Amino acid sequence: MALNYNPREIEKKWQERWARDRLYEVREDDPRPKWYELHMYPYTSGNLHVGHWYALAPADVHARFMRMKGYNVMHPMGFDAFGLPAENAAINHGIHPHTWTMQNVENMRRQLRSIGAIYDWNREVVTSLPEYYKWTEWLFLQLYRGGLAYRAKAPANWCPSCQTVLANEQVLPNGTCERCATEVTRRDLEQWFFRITKYADELLDNSKIDWPERINIMQRNWIGRSEGVEISFDIEEYGLEEKEIRTFTTRPDTIFGVTFMVLAPEHPLVSKLTTPEHKEEVERYIEAARKQSEIQRLSTEKEKTGVFIGSYCVNRLSDEKVPVWIADYALLTYGTGAVMGVPAHDQRDFEFAKKFHIPIKTVIAPRGWSGEELTEAYVEPGTMVNSGRFNGLSNEEGKKAIADFVEKESIGKLTVSYRLRDWLISRQRYWGAPIPIIYCDKCGTVPVPDEDLPVLLPEDAAFKPTGESPLKYHQGFVHTACPQCHGPARRETDTMDTFMCSSWYFLRYADPKNNQAPFSKEKIGYWLPVDQYTGGAEHAVMHLLYARFFIKALRDLGLVDFDEPFLRLFNQGIIIAQRHKMSKSRGNVITPDPYVEELGADVVRAYLMFIGPWDQGGEWSDSGINGITRWFNRAWNLALSDPDELAGRPADVKALQELERMTHKTIKKVTQDLERFRFNTMLAALMEYSNYLATAWESRSVDSSAWRKAIETFLLLLAPTAPHLTEELWEGTGHPYSIH
Partner RNA sequence: GCCGGAGUGGCGAAACAGGCAGACGCGACGGUCUCAAAAACCGUUGGGAGGCAACUCCCUUGUCGGUUCGAGUCCGACCUCCGGCACCA
Rounded Cα distance between 573 and 609, Å, is 12
657 binds RNA (CB under 7 A): no
CA 411 – CA 233 distance, rounded (Å)? 8
Give the nearest distance from C-beta 368 to RNA in angstroms. Answer: 23
Q: Is 202 in the site for RNA (CB under 7 A)?
A: no
* DSSP secondary structure string for all residues of 510-558: TSTT-SSSSS-HHHHHHHPSEEEEEEEGGGTTTHHHHHHHHHHHHHHTT
In the complex, what is the shortest distance from the CB of residue 707 to RNA, in angstroms, rounded to a whole number? Answer: 18
Q: Does 732 bind RNA (CB under 7 A)?
A: no
CA distance 491 to 435: 9
Backbone dihedral region of 700: left (phi > 0), alpha (psi from -120 to 50 degrees) or beta?
A: left
* Stretch of 13-21, 55-63, 142-150, 496-504 contacting RNA, by CB under 7 A: 496-504
Judged by beta carbon, residue 207 or residue 300, the one nearer RNA is 300
If the CB atoms of residues 256 and 430 are measured against RNA, the closer one turns out to be: 430
> What burial class does residue 375 get, using C-beta atoms within 10 Å of its C-beta: 0-12 exposed, 13-18 middle, 19+ buried?
exposed
CA distances from 532 to 301, 578, 726 (A): 41, 31, 25
Torsion sign (Cα): 309, 314, 318, 319: positive
Which residue in the set 75, 427, 548, 605 belongs to the binding site for RNA (CB under 7 A)? 427
Hey, which residues between 443 and 472 contact RNA (CB under 7 A)?
none
> Cα separation of 27 and 86, whole Å?
34
Q: Taking the complex as a whole, how short is the minimal distance between the CB of residue 277 and RNA, in angstroms?
A: 34
Report how far residue 184's alpha carbon sits from residue 1's, in angstroms, rounded to the nearest whole number.
53
Considering only residues 567-586, where is the footprint of RNA by CB under 7 A? 574, 576, 579-581, 583
Q: Which of residues 620-639 bind RNA (CB under 7 A)?
A: 621, 623-624, 626-631, 633-634
Looking at 291-394, list the stretches that DSSP marks H as alpha helix, in order from N- to C-terminal side: 294-298, 347-356
Residue 699 binding RNA, by CB under 7 A: no
Task: Look at the chain and count its residues.
Answer: 740
Task: Report the residue from 25, 294, 597, 645 that binds RNA according to the rule CB under 7 A.
Answer: 294
Give the N- to C-terminal CA distance of the chain in Å, as an integer. Answer: 28
Q: Which of 257, 251, 247, 249 lies closest to 396 in space, CA to CA?
A: 251
Q: Distance between CA 380 and CA 365 in Å, rounded?
A: 9
Touching RNA, residues 173-192 (CB under 7 A):
189, 191
Does 167 interact with RNA (rule: CB under 7 A)? yes
Three-state helix/strand/coil letters over 210-244:
ECCHHHHHHHHHHHCCEEEEEEEEECHHHCCCCCE
CB of 222 to RNA, least distance (A): 7
- Residues numbered 385 to 424 that lie near RNA (CB under 7 A) are 419-421, 423-424
User: From the CB of 691, what's the least distance to RNA, in Å?
Assistant: 5
Q: In whole angstroms, how close is the CB of 528 to RNA at the nearest point? A: 21
- Which residues, in sequence order, are bridge partners of residue 532? 37, 568
Candidates 51-59, 387-395, 673-681, 705-713 — which segment interacts with RNA by CB under 7 A?
673-681
Q: Which of residues 505-534 bind RNA (CB under 7 A)?
A: none
Answer yes or no: are the C-beta atoms of 501 and 125 closer than 8 Å.
no
| Contact present, 282 and 266 (Cβ < 8 Å) | no
Binding part of the chain for RNA, among 105-113, 652-660, 672-680, 708-716 by CB under 7 A, reads 672-680
Q: Counting contacts by CB under 7 A, is residue 278 touching RNA?
A: no
Which is closer to RNA, CB of 576 or CB of 590? 576
Contact region for RNA (CB under 7 A) — 246-254, 297-305, 377-385, 510-518?
297-305
Q: Does 310 bind RNA (CB under 7 A)?
A: no
* 218 part of the interface to RNA, by CB under 7 A: yes
CA angle 226, 230, 236 (to 5 degrees): 160
Tell me how far apart the alpha carbons of residues 104 and 46 are, in angstroms, rounded to a whole number.
4
Least Å distance, CB 583 to RNA, is 6
* Residue with smaller CB distance to RNA, 363 or 686: 686
Q: Based on CB atoms, which residue is closest to RNA, 390 or 689?
A: 689
426 binds RNA (CB under 7 A): yes
Instruction: Considering only the stretches 68-76, 359-367, 440-448, 667-675, report the one whose residues sit in contact with RNA under the rule CB under 7 A.
Output: 667-675
- Report the site for RNA in 11-70 (rule: CB under 7 A): 43
683 binds RNA (CB under 7 A): yes
Position 344: which residue type? A
* Single residue of 50, 117, 159, 166 touching RNA by CB under 7 A: 166
Question: Considering only CA atoms, which of 30, 114, 25, 112 is closest in space to residue 77?
Answer: 112
Which segment (134-142, 250-258, 445-453, 494-502) binds RNA by CB under 7 A? Answer: 494-502
295 touching RNA, by CB under 7 A: yes
> How far is residue 740's CA from residue 733's CA, in Å, rounded to a whole number?
15
CB atoms within 10 A of CB 405: 17
Give me Rg for the CA atoms of the chain: 32
The answer to whether 446 touches 483, Cβ cutoff 8 Å, is yes
Q: Which is it for strands 164-166 and 307-315: parallel, antiparallel or unpaired?
A: unpaired
Among 441, 452, 619, 645, binds RNA (CB under 7 A): 619
Draw the binding track, 223-262, toward RNA (x: CB under 7 A; -: no contact).
----------------------------------------
Which lies closer to RNA via its Cβ, residue 401 or residue 576? Answer: 576
Interacting positions 68-107 with RNA (CB under 7 A): 80, 82-85
Window of 7-15, 20-28, 210-218, 377-385 that interacts with RNA by CB under 7 A: 210-218
- If one asks whether residue 502 binds RNA (CB under 7 A), the answer comes out as yes
Q: Which is nearer to RNA, 154 or 358 (CB)?
A: 154
Taking CB under 7 A as the criterion, the residue among 222, 369, 439, 562 binding RNA is: 222
**Using rule CB under 7 A, residue 590 touches RNA:** no
* Residue from the set 172, 217, 462, 481 that interacts with RNA by CB under 7 A: 217
Whether residue 182 contacts residue 159, with contact meaning beta carbons closer than 8 Å, is answered with yes
